[in-house]
Structure 1
Amino acid sequence: MGWLFVLVMGVIIGILGKWVAPGGKDNTPLWLTVVCGIAGVIIGYGIFGGTKGIDWIAFFISIVLAAVFVVIATSVTGRRTRA
């Protein structure tokens, strides 16, 4: 897994993870969302990847993991929108 792949997919999957996560109207900073996406890619493709070509199972697992990490990061940082 190349580092360029991890960075690019981390940005994409981080944004998708934030979109999929419940309560998507939070004020989680973009850099934290990207870090969550990179963590999702590393874990998702590290465990479930390994085939040649596009590995859809690892892709969707990475999105789910990034969504979970975004929810955790939002609850830990305590940043919520003001109504």
Structure 2
Amino acid sequence: MTLTVTSIVTAIIVGLVIGALGRLFVRGHQNISILATILIGIVAAFIGTIIAGFLGVRHTDGIDWIQLFIQVILAALFVSLYAGRTAGRGRRRGIL
């Protein structure tokens, strides 16, 4: 696999969309940056593609809805985990 400018831009766009869709499925406010959302979306898209390949649904005619569903569910899970992990960090400043 070769990295081109097009593949990098495509990964960023797909990551943004998948990450944003994942955030929509998580209840409440997530205090995470857009960069974290994009990175989570890229990772979720990559892992979701691998899982879809193992399930045999990676390449279908038209839009790969099952693969997209897997990617969005993973993004929601990762957003939830990341938001929960970083929830108390901003509040600890200024105590001392």
- TM-score > 0.5 by shorter chain: yes
Gaps of 5+ in 1: none
Gaps of 5+ in 2: 2-6, 90-96
- Larger Rg belongs to: 2
Q: Which residue of 1 aligns with 2:45?
A: 41
Number of residue pairs matched by the alignment? 80
Correspondence list, 1:23-62, <5 A: 23=28, 25-49=29-53, 50-52=58-60, 53-62=62-71
Structure 1-normalised TM-score? 0.80
Q: Deviation per CA, 1:19-77, whole angstroms, max 9, x where unpaired?
A: 11122x22111111111111110011122043154211010110010000000000111
Over the matched positions of the two proteins, sequence identity in percent amounts to 37
Residues 1:56 and 1:79: Cα distance change in structure 2 (over 3 Å): farther
CA RMSD of aligned residues (A): 2.3
Distance in structure 1 (CA, Å) of the matches to 2:64 and 2:88:
34
